C-alpha cells in the first residue's frame, strides 16, 4: 500500500493561499510568546533519587549555589506528591525538577492539578533530558546559581498532548519506542555488573539501537501500516521549513494512510540526547506536530545526522500539524511516552490539551 498524506478525494475546498500558508518555526514561536522576568519569591527543588546522575552530592551543590532553596529528595511518587504539597503550602513561586524527562512530565501533571501552581524549572539531570534541551538548561549549578543571582529568565508556555488520560509533551509509536525498549533491556542487563557505573547513557542508547533494534528491523519483512484520521479541528502537511503544503484538512478526513515505521508527536521539538525529532512542534499554539516515517532502516541509519539536526527532507518522511487525531495500526506496535515505555498499541486517540504550564529558561 502506498502512503497517501491526506485523502485527496475527501479534501475540502480551499483557496490557493491556504495551500501555501507559511508557518513560523518553533524558535520564532517561542520568542514571540516568551515573557521575561527576574527571580522573585521562594524556590523549591525536587530531586528524583532514583534517576540517573541523581547523587547526594547534587544536594550539596544546590545548597552551595542557591542556599535559599527548599530541597526535596524523593524516592517514590507518594513522596513526590508530599513534597509538592509542602512546596505549595510554603508559597514558592518556582519549583525546579530534576530527574530526567519522566520526572519532569510527572511533576508537570501534578502541578496542573492546582489552580494556581508555581512555574516549573527544568534541571539537566537524569537521562535523555529532552525538555532540558528545549529550555536550554545548563548544569544544575549554573541554573540555580543564575536564580540566586537574580538573572533574568524567559517564561515559556509548556503545552501538552493528551492520550489515554495522560498528558505529555512528546511520545511515539513504532521504531522510537522499540529502541527505547531495547535500551531498557541493555541497561537491565548491565545492572549489578562492573560496566553499570562506567556505561555512558548515550553510548548505551546507540549500542542498543545498532546492536538490537536495527538488525531486528532490517530482517523484518513486514512493514506496519497506519491510518491517521482527523477527529477535530484543522490539520495540514508541512515541509522542513514549516511551510504548509497542500490543502488544509478537516474533521473526518484521512491525514495519512500507508507504511509507518514510526509516528512521533508532541509539542516540544526534542527527543532525548538533543535529537530534534519534532522541529516545528512549537509552531502554532493550538497544534502539535506529527511526524510519520516510512523510510526503511538503511535509509534511516544513513540519514541519522540530518534527522538528529532536524533538517531532513525525504519523500518517505511526512510532517503534519494537527489538533486531534486517531492513529490506527494494522498490528500492535511499541508505544512510549516521554521516554518511558508503555507497552504495545494498535490504536491511539491523541489531542491537544487546553492546559499549559509556565516553564522558565535562563538560555
Closest by CA position to 250, among listed 89, 46, 74, 14? 14
Clarify whether residues 138 and 172 are in a common domain: no
Strands 42-48 and 70-74, by their bridges, are parallel
Clarify whether residues 119 and 184 are in a common domain: no
Clarify whether residues 171 and 91 are in a common domain: no
The tens digit of pLDDT for each residue in 56-83 reads 789 999 999 999 999 999 999 999 999 9
C-alpha cell belonging to residue 163: 492520550
For position 212, what pLDDT does the model report?
A: 66
For position 3, what pLDDT does the model report?
A: 56
The torsion angle over the Cα atoms of residues 112, 116, 118 and 119, rounded to 10 degrees, is: 70
Q: Which residue has better confidence, 173 or 54?
A: 173
| Residue 326, domain member (yes or no) | yes
Clarify whether residues 145 and 177 are in a common domain: no
Range of the domain at 69: 39-151
Is residue 276 a contact partner of residue 241, using CB atoms and an 8 Å limit? no
Q: Give the number of domains in the chain.
A: 2
Clarify whether residues 227 and 121 are in a common domain: no
Q: Which helix (H) or strand (E) holds 160?
A: strand 153-163
Examine the fold and report which residue of 151, 183, 205 is the final residue of a domain before the chain moves on.
151
Clarify whether residues 260 and 309 are in a common domain: yes
- How many residues are recorded in the chain? 363
Q: How confident is the model at residue 209 (pLDDT cuts 50, 70, 90)?
A: low
Q: Which residue has better confidence, 168 or 11?
A: 168
For position 304, what pLDDT does the model report?
A: 82
Amino acid at each position: 500500500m502506498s502512503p497517501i498524506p491526506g485523502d485527496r478525494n475527501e479534501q475540502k475546498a480551499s483557496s490557493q493561499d491556504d495551500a501555501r500558508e507559511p508557518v513560523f518555526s518553533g524558535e520564532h514561536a517561542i520568542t514571540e510568546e516568551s515573557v521575561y522576568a527576574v527571580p522573585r519569591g521562594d524556590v523549591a527543588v525536587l530531586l528524583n533519587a532514583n534517576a540517573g546522575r541523581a547523587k547526594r552530592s547534587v544536594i550539596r551543590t544546590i545548597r552551595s549555589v542557591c542556599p535559599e532553596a527548599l530541597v526535596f529528595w524523593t524516592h517514590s511518587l507518594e513522596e513526590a506528591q508530599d513534597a509538592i504539597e509542602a512546596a505549595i503550602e510554603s508559597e514558592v513561586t518556582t519549583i525546579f525538577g530534576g530527574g530526567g524527562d519522566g520526572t519532569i512530565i510527572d511533576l508537570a501533571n501534578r502541578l496542573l492539578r492546582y489552580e494556581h501552581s508555581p512555574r516549573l524549572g527544568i534541571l539537566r539531570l537524569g537521562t535523555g533530558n529532552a525538555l532540558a534541551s528545549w529550555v536550554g538548561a545548563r548544569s544544575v549549578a549554573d541554573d540555580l546559581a543564575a536564580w540566586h543571582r537574580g538573572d533574568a529568565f524567559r517564561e515559556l508556555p509548556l503545552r501538552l498532548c493528551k492520550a489515554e488520560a495522560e498528558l505529555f509533551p512528546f511520545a511515539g509509536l513504532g521504531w522510537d519506542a522499540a529502541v527505547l525498549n531495547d535500551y531498557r533491556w541493555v541497561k537491565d542487563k548491565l545492572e549489578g555488573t562492573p560496566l553499570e557505573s562506567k556505561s555512558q547513557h548515550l553510548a548505551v542508547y546507540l549500542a542498543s539501537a545498532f546492536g538490537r533494534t536495527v538488525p531486528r528491523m532490517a530482517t523484518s519483512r513486514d512493514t506496519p501500516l497506519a491510518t491517521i484520521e482527523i477527529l477535530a479541528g484543522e490539520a495540514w502537511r508541512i515541509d522542513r521549513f514549516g511551510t504548509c503544503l497542500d490543502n488544509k484538512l478537516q474533521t473526518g478526513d484521512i491525514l495519512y494512510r500507508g507504511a509507518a515505521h514510526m509516528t512521533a508527536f508532541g509539542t516540544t521539538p526534542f527527543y532525548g540526547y538533543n535529537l530534534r525529532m519534532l522541529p516545528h512542534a512549537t509552531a502554532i499554539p493550538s497544534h502539535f506536530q506529527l511526524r510519520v516515517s516510512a523510510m526503511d532502516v538503511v535509509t534511516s541509519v544513513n540519514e541519522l545526522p540530518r534527522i538528529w539536526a532536524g533538517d531532513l527532507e525525504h519523500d518517505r518522511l511526512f510532517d503534519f500539524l494537527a489538533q486531534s487525531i486517531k492513529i490506527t495500526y494494522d498490528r500492535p506496535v511499541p508505544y512510549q511516552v516521554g521516554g518511558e515505555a508503555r507497552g504495545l498499541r494498535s490504536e491511539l486517540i491523541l489531542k491537544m490539551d487546553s492546559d499549559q504550564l509556565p516553564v522558565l529558561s535562563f538560555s
